[in-house]
Amino acid sequence: MAQEMLALEGVRKSFGDVEVLHGIDLTVHRGEVVAILGPSGSGKTTLLRCANFLERADAGTLALGGERFDLAHATKREVAAVRKKTAFVFQNYNLFRNRTVLGNVTEGLIVARKMPRAQAEKIARDCLERVGMGDRADAYPIQLSGGQQQRVAIARAMATDPEIIYFDEPTSALDPELTIEVLGSMRRLAEDGMTMLVVTHEMGFARNVADRVVFMEGGSVVAAAPSAEFFEHPDNDRVRAFLRTVG
Ligand code: ADP
């Protein structure tokens, strides 16, 4: 069995009086791609955000690369330690509008990691090359399509050499043809061995690229299975109902 890279345990989160995560357990092994599927409002995004402290969970633990963190009570220093080992790709790219493509990718390396500019630029150019954006290093985000912006965001995530990359519905703002190019970059990243946890509505990606699928509904994990098994032999009525609606 491959080494465990990430384990979430007992993750709970309420907004006001409403509990939207009811104690989630989820494991990702090194080099594994796990897709989180489920109907809208089931808590997928909130789970991902809690795992990176973009939201503060009410309870739960995170084990990441051998270290353990209390999701509810982690200190600033622990939050920074988790952020250093992880990267997050957002639905809406979240690029700096006033910086070039190259500047977007080098920013985290130079500012947060104190890397010399020349070294940061070398890494950034290599990552941009890998997502097919090597020739747009001097462009500004506004000059790019949504798909190109998202590929820059993926390069930015890769550049920090994270233990795991979280993707939060990375293609849901994109037209179909732009979705294909972003999914292509994600597939190559997966083939290169990156550990990835991906909230997605792209069934093709979940089926063909993900190793395992975790299905959430109503703030709970309802099913988890290797992706071939999940799609071909769903053993759960709610999964079957979901697959009929998307399928
Ligand atoms: P999914 O990603 O599966 O669509 P979300 O994690 O976005 O689900 O949302 C889960 C539930 O939490 C939904 O009912 C949503 O309305 C609620 N929710 C998410 N974020 C907030 C917030 N910041 N404040 C209040 N409710 C929220």
Q: For the segment 216-242, what is each residue's pLDDT rounded down to a tens digit?
A: 999 999 999 999 999 999 989 999 999
Nearest CA to ligand 1 atom 21: 15
Residue 1 has pLDDT above 60, yes or no: no
Choose which residue among 11, 13, 15 to substitute to test ligand 1 binding: the one with the highest number of ligand atoms within 8 A of its C-beta. Answer: 15
Assess whether the C-beta atom of 38 lies below 6 angstroms from ligand 1: yes
Output the CA 10–ligand 1 centroid distance in Å. Answer: 18
- Percent of the chain clearing pLDDT 90 (strictly above): 96
Average pLDDT over residues 42-54: 97
Output the CA 55–ligand 1 centroid distance in Å. Answer: 11
Ligand 1 atom at minimal distance to the Cα of residue 42: 3
Q: Please give the pLDDT value at position 246.
A: 86
Q: Please give the pLDDT value at position 66.
A: 87
Q: Please give the pLDDT value at position 131.
A: 96
Asked whether 160 and 108 are in contact (CB, 8 A), the reply is yes
> Is the pTM for the entire model greater than 0.90?
yes
For 137-171, what is each residue's pLDDT tens digit?
999 999 999 999 999 999 999 999 999 999 999 99
Average pLDDT, rounded, for the chain: 96
ipTM, interface predicted TM-score of the complex: 0.98
For 72-103, what is each residue's pLDDT tens digit?
999 999 999 999 999 999 999 999 999 999 99
Output the CA 157–ligand 1 centroid distance in Å. Answer: 24
Asked whether 186 and 132 are in contact (CB, 8 A), the reply is no
Average pLDDT over residues 40-45: 97
Nearest CA to ligand 1 atom 25: 15
Q: Show Cβ contacts of residue 113 under 8 Å, excluding neighbours closer than 6 positions.
A: 160
Output the CA 193–ligand 1 centroid distance in Å. Answer: 31
CB atoms within 10 A of CB 99: 14
| Residue-by-residue DSSP string for the chain | -PPEEEEEEEEEEEETTEEEEEEEEEEEETT-EEEEE--TTSSHHHHHHHHTTSS--SEEEEEETTEEEETTT--HHHHHHHHHHEEEE-TT----TTS-HHHHHHHIIIIIS---HHHHHHHHHHHHHHTT-GGGTT--GGGS-HHHHHHHHHHHHHHT--SEEEEESTTTTS-HHHHHHHHHHHHHHHHTT--EEEE---HHHHHHT-SEEEEEETTEEEEEEEHHHHHHS---HHHHHHHHHH-
Confidence bin at 41 (pLDDT 50/70/90): very high
Q: Please give the pLDDT value at position 12.
A: 98
- Percent of the chain clearing pLDDT 70 (strictly above): 99
Assess whether the C-beta atom of 46 lies below 6 angstroms from ligand 1: yes
Q: Please give the pLDDT value at position 2.
A: 72
Output the CA 19–ligand 1 centroid distance in Å. Answer: 10
Nearest CA to ligand 1 atom 24: 15
